[in-house]
Amino acid sequence: MIFRDLEELGILGINNRVGRYILRHNKRSNYPLVDDKVLTAQRAETWGIAMPQNYMIIENYGSLKNFHLKIQNYESFVIKPANGSQGNGIIVIKEIIKEERNGITRILCRRSNDKLMDIEEVKHHISGILSGLYSLKGHSDTAIIQAKIDKHSIFDNYSYGGIPDIRVIVFEGYPVMSMVRLPTKSSDGRANLHQGAIGAGINLSDGSTNNAVIKNQVVDIHPDTGHKLVGLKIPFWRESLELAAQCYDMVELGYLGADIVLTPDQGPILLELNARPGLGIQIANLAGLVPRLEKIRLKAPKNLLAHERVDFSMKNF
Amino acid sequence: MKKLIFIITTLLITAPLAMLLYKSQVLNLSLLPQMVDDVWNFHLTVRPKGDRTSFSFPIPKPGPGIKITDERIRSKNFEVFIDSNSDSTLATWSAKDPIKQKVTYSARIDLKPLSYKNIPKDHTETYPKGLQRYLKTLNLLPEDVAAISLLEKAILEGNEDKTSVIRKIYYYVEEEIQRNTNIKTIHEALTNGKGSPLIKAKLFNILARRQKVPSRIVVMVRMPELKSTAQAKVRFTFANEVFLNNKWIPIDTNRGYFGERPDNFMVIHRNYDEVEKIISKKRVSYSIQAERARINRFNKSEFKKEVVKSDSIFSKLSLYRLPLPLQTMFTTILMIPLGTLVLSIARNVIGIPTFGIFTPILLTLFFKETSFGFGFVFFFVVVLVGIGERYILDKFYLLAVPRLSIILTLVIMLMIGYSLFSSDIAMISQNHLAFFPIVIVTTNIERLSIMLTEEGLANTLKTLFGTLVIAILGYLLYSIHALEMFMFTNPELLFTIIGFLILIGKYKGYRLSEFLRFRDLVRQKKKKTEGISNDIP
């Protein structure tokens, strides 16, 4: 069989992920807690899990009218669809510029990739979000205006443009596998593997990167900064894993992907959760998920606290 | 749980198959309607000789074993008069000036073999007036009359019924007169025991009429062999018909058929006496072409009779009971589940990406309702409209729903434009639902342009390609006409499809695409482990 190698490595395939793990361990009714970032933020607040500050929640076109006035209170912001997926529809504005010409004031927004957007364009983008252009099911959506997060200095040499994030797969509350996604020039500063960001696998035991890939191809150095990608040690590692593990208690989804960012001042905070995390993480780690998932399913003790589950994972994976 | 699924799936898959077996073995129902393809495209070209302003020629007439449709007579520059009062049809072309052109007749002709077995004894004495002309004796040389009388004494007993007499005459002419195309008179035939097909038919005719049996010579066309590729010249040939028990019975002394006519012979005129001069080589030249029409259609009406006659539960559940337009609709619709089966395999077992879930099937329907080439081109035009629209209207900052509606409207305008300027619109107008699938597909087009901006050209093309591949696969499936009929005839197979869909739904193995996706992982992993083992001295 041509799949023998995959089986030996314990690679998790899509059908297996859906049939054996997602459908069996994720309760459908809990999906909105993950898919809708407004609900996630509310939940996170009651659970004391740190997330980026939400400046505004825009639910209808009417609230867009004064958007250009309200937004001037902030220096930078991020626009997100509440029900988006794969980072689609997200725009990061790092600077708001007021420009006066012939007595007419123009408000321009500088994106993370240094492109300038007129405030009208920004509003148009938001109205696109509201009409459901980026939503998972195509229904009308809510737009979130959120605080822009700054990059932790550890990533200065490992990221081009945007902010790297750490993806942790959590199964039944146990961290299973992790990677850090590092934006590149070709990914347009986004931490999205499909668009060409680097995925670097992380050893759960010590938080150091073990391997890195771009679009399924192994790479040794960051193509834009030239820094070696293996051996990077992620700070606040244990805290990050504990944060991810707590998310299981918060949304009660057995198979979960937690996206975490390291902030310079607050340490790790939760960016978003994903009920159908991708399988590319296996390539980033050069390891299959199945043996780890099965170990947790069969051997891991039940009813442990988040930090105890992290102990188990750090010891075993 | 696993056991339950196993039982349900097994039941779903096997029960309809068992039903099929029951239908075919116990009820003796055929699983498919019979194919009919014995339709001929028949072309006749005639040109008169000499300076005549009018001439006639026989053309086929519907009758026992012969059905005629799509008859066409080229009548430009002519007046055409069709006389079908007698047992045959005669077309007369006339013009002001002498006719120098060819005239053509074409038709689609469905031939069935004729067979009258066990013809009862016939003692008819008098015949109605209309048949009197088939009893007229012909002028013969006195020595021929004498020869014939001797012959009659030798083969007939004198007190037999007319059926037996005809049979004896048939045996005599069929066996004792050898076929020889050079012998062209009755006299020669009687003295030499040889004769051309026409002479044999004439001799039979004379002998039958002398025994007071209405008889006639029929002019026939022998249809060419199915497999013969060379265009053999098709000529008129001759046989007889006798009136026994109030029926015209076909007889062919040249090829040895009594009471039978195979379906490769078509009668073009039923009384040679009337057309002898008309078809003579001196007056006209003609050519005939006949080829099997390439229509593979299933004889649904025959099958309906068969199903109803079986009087089983299936006859009540059969889709053949529906009115014809509904039948046509269901033949198409019943293929959709089969399409979803292909789609499920393509997506979940092979891992081909597609736009939207059912877009490929909608495309398949569109291809089927229009035509593949047209459907394909139209789909790409729609894609271009979708991308172009987004590119242009992006500056206007329109909300998503109205913008999608604009694409939809543009596509409808495209259809109208096409309809107005296209000649083959007839093919589309036959089915008023033809364009419906593409209208639905349109709503997915905008996703394409979003994908283009967010995931790049390569991914978009991959997905577009995947969508088309599945649509084409579905189209190929649809083009298997027998499969379509099989599903329509045995709709219980839908349960089997559900069974297979459950199996695919439970498939947790790898997708074929994952083999490619994780190929590098496997290679890197192997390299690393080898590297480690090499380090150990």
Nearest CA in chain A to B525: A286
DSSP labels, B237-272: EEEEEEEETTEEEEEETTTTEESEE-TTEEEEES-H
Asked if A103 and A240 sit in the same domain, the reply is no
Both A96 and A210 in one domain: the answer is no
Over residues A258-271, the mean pLDDT reads 91
Number of structural domains found in chain A: 2
A65: number of CA atoms within 13 Å, CB side? 3
Is residue A274's pLDDT more than 60? Answer: yes
Residue A244 sits in a domain whose CATH number is: 3.30.470.20
* Phi-psi domain of A198 (left: phi exceeds 0; alpha: psi -120 through 50; beta: other): beta
Which of chain B's residues have a Cβ under 8 Å away from the Cβ of A6? 510, 514-515, 518, 522
Q: Is B68 exposed, middle or buried (0-12, 13-18, 19+ CB in 10 A)?
A: middle
pLDDT at residue number B35: 61
- Rounded to 10°, the helix B400-421/B436-479 angle is 60
Q: Are both A209 and A221 inside the same structural domain?
A: yes
- A163, A148 Cβ separation under 8 angstroms: no
Q: Among the three residues A118, A146, A174, which one is the final residue of a domain in this structure? A: A146
Contact A15 B400 (CB under 8 A): no
One domain, residues A267 and A228: yes
Residue whose tokens read 């038919």: B201
Size of interface A-B (CB pairs under 8 A): 84
For the residues of A10-57, what is the DSSP string, one character each? TPPPHHHIIIIIIHHHB-GGGHHHHH-HHHHHHHHHHHT---PPEEEE
A205 in the same domain as A233 = yes
* Percent over 70 (pLDDT), chain A: 98
Task: State whether A69 and A139 are in the same domain.
Answer: yes
Measured between CA atoms, how close is A308 to chain B, in angstroms?
Answer: 31
What's the gap in Å between the CA of B530 and the closest CA on chain A?
Answer: 14
Residue pLDDT, tens place only, A121-134 = 898 889 888 887 77
Label the pairing between strands B194-195 and B178-179.
parallel
pLDDT tens digit string along A157-181? 888 878 899 999 999 999 999 999 9
Give the nearest partner residue to A124 out of B397, B455, B520, using CB atoms.
B397
Q: How close A156 gets to chain B, by Cα (Å)?
A: 26
Strand partners, B111: B66
Cβ neighbors of A251 (< 8 A, separation 6 or more) are A30, A33, A34, A40, A43, A273
The Cα angle at residue B274 between residues B270 and B277, in degrees rounded to 5: 125
How far, CA to CA in Å, does A193 sit from each of A36, A112, A190, A214?
22, 18, 9, 7
Amino acid identity, position B423: S
Lowest-confidence segment of A36-40, A266-270, B394-398, B480-484 by average pLDDT: B394-398
Residue listed under structure tokens 């075919």: B24
| Minimal C-alpha gap between A134 and chain B (Å) | 9
Confirm whether the ipTM is greater than 0.85.
no
Looking at CA atoms only, how far is residue A19 from chain B in angstroms?
A: 6
* The pairing of beta strand B39-48 with beta strand B103-111: antiparallel
Q: How far is the C-alpha of A315 from the C-alpha of A310, rounded, in Å?
A: 8
Distance of CA A166 to CAs A54, A177, A279, Å?
20, 11, 15
What lies within 8 Å, CB to CB, of B413 at 6+ separation is: none
- The set of residues, in sequence order, having a beta carbon less than 8 Å from that of B521 and lying 6+ positions away, is A9, A11, A216, A282, A283, A286
How far, in Å, CA of B134 to CA of B117, rounded?
23
In this complex, the residue of A5, A19, A123 whose CB is nearest that of residue B522 is A5
Identify whether the C-beta of residue A209 lies closer than 8 Å to the C-beta of residue A200: yes
Contacts of B514 in chain A (CB under 8 A): 6, 11, 13-14
Q: CB distance A3–B509 less than 8 Å?
A: yes
**Do A167 and A272 reside in the same domain of the chain?**
yes
The verdict on a CB contact (< 8 Å) between B508 and A16 is: yes
Lookup result for tokens 């059905």: B67
Rounded CA separation B537/B200 (Å): 105
pLDDT in tens, chain B (537 residues): 788 888 999 999 999 889 888 887 777 776 676 665 567 888 888 888 888 888 889 999 888 888 887 788 876 778 888 888 778 888 888 888 888 888 888 888 888 888 888 888 888 888 888 888 888 887 888 888 888 888 888 888 878 888 989 999 999 888 888 888 888 888 888 888 888 889 999 999 999 998 889 999 999 988 877 555 555 677 888 999 999 988 899 999 988 899 988 888 899 999 888 888 888 888 888 888 887 765 555 666 666 766 666 666 666 777 877 777 777 788 888 888 999 999 999 999 999 988 877 888 888 888 887 778 888 888 888 888 888 877 787 777 676 678 778 888 888 888 788 777 765 554 454 555 667 777 777 777 767 777 777 677 888 888 889 999 999 988 998 888 888 888 888 888 999 999 999 999 989 889 998 888 888 888 887 877 776 554 444
Three-state SS string over chain A comes to: CCCHHHHHHCCCCHHHHHHHHHHHHECHHHHHHHHCHHHHHHHHHHHCCCCCCEEEEECCHHHHCCHHHHHHHCCCEEEEECCCCCCCCCEEEEEEEEEEECCEEEEEEEECCCCEEEHHHHHHHHHHHHCCCCCCCCCCCCEEEECCCCCCHHHCCCCCCCCCEEEEEEECCEEEEEEEEECCCCCCCCCCHHHCCEEEEECCCCCEEEEEEECCEECCECCCCCCECCCCECCCHHHHHHHHHHHHHHHCECEEEEEEEEECCCEEEEEEEECCCCCCHHHHHCCCCHHHHHHHHHHCCCCCCHHHHHHHHHHHC
Among 3.10.620.30, 3.40.50.2300, 3.40.640.10, 1.10.1750.10, what is the CATH number of B114-262?
Answer: 3.10.620.30
A3, A130, A132 member nearest B515 (Cβ)? A3
User: Which residue, chain included where needed, has tokens 């729609």?
Assistant: B382
Q: Which residues of A touch B510 (CB under 8 A)?
A: 3, 6-7, 11, 13, 15-16
d(CA A154, CA A260): 15
HEC per residue, B21-37: HHHHHCCCCCCCCCEEC
Under an 8 A CB cutoff, do B351 and A5 touch?
Answer: no
Q: Please answer yes or no on whether A13 and B450 come within 8 Å at the CB atom.
A: no
Domain of residue A136: give its range: 54-146
Across the interface, of A11, A19, A120, the residue whose CB is closest to B518 is A11
| One domain for residues A33 and A167 | yes
**Assigned token pair, A269:** 């905070």
Q: Are both A298 and A285 inside the same structural domain?
A: yes
The encoded tokens of residue A199 equal 């995925």
- Tokens representing residue B263 in the block: 């379906």
Residues 6+ apart with CB under 8 A from A201: A177, A178, A179, A209, A210, A211, A212, A281, A284, A285, A286, A287
Of B348, B508, B515, the CB nearest to A2: B515
Structure tokens at A4: 């023998």
pLDDT of residue B85: 72
Name which of B198, B199, B291, B201 is nearest B236 in CA terms.
B198
If asked whether residues A102 and A182 sit together in one domain, one would say: no
Mean pLDDT of chain A: 88
Give the residue numbers in A contacting B (CB under 8 Å), as ranges. 2-3, 5-7, 9, 11, 13-16, 19-20, 61, 88, 120-121, 123-124, 127-128, 130-134, 194-195, 211, 213, 216-218, 279, 282-283, 286-287
- Residue A132: closest C-alpha in chain B: B400
For residue A301, give both structure tokens.
């003790």
Residue in chain B closest to A288 (alpha carbons) equals B521
Cβ A151 vs Cβ A271: under 8 Å = no
Which residue among B508, B522, B525 places its CB closest to the CB of A15?
A: B508
Q: Helix (H, G, I), strand (E, B), or coil: what is residue A90? A: coil
Token pair for A178: 């992790």
Give the chain A residue nearest B447 (alpha carbons).
A133
Chain B positions contacting chain A at CB under 8 Å are 348, 351, 397, 399-401, 450, 454-456, 459, 506-511, 514-515, 517-518, 520-522, 524-525, 528
**CA dist., res. A185 & res. A190, Å (int):** 9
The span from the CA of B469 to the CA of B473, in Å, is 6
* A113 and A186 together in one domain: no
Kindly list the residues from chain B whose CB atom is less than 8 angstroms away from the CB atom of residue A19. 506-508
Q: Nearest chain B residue to A141 by CA: give it.
A: B400
Please report, for chain B, the start and end positions of each structural domain, with discontinuous segments joined by +. Answer: 114-262, 352-479
Confidence at residue B537, expressed as pLDDT on a 0 to 100 scale: 40
pLDDT of residue A1: 66
Domain C-terminal end among A146, A165, A190: A146
For strands B247-252 and B257-258, give the pairing.
antiparallel
Residues A158 and A220 in one domain: yes
Query: Could you give the 3-state DSSP secondary structure of residue A64?
Result: helix
C-alpha to C-alpha distance for B37 and B298, rounded to whole angstroms:
9
Give me the pLDDT at residue B232, please. Answer: 60
Cα separation, B115 vs A249, whole angstroms: 86
How far apart are alpha carbons B26 and B19 in whole angstroms?
10
Chain-chain contact of A127 with B508 (C-beta, under 8 angstroms): no
Closest Cα of chain A to B414: distance in Å?
A: 25
The pLDDT assigned to B496 comes to 93
The pLDDT score that the predictor gives to residue B536 is: 43
CA distance B75 to B140: 41
pLDDT on residue B222: 87
Interface mutation vs chain B, best among A6, A67, A210, most B CBs within 10 Å: A6
Instruction: Give dist(CA A199, CA A179) in Å, integer.
Output: 6
- Burial of residue B519 (CB within 10 Å: 0-12, 13-18, 19+) is middle
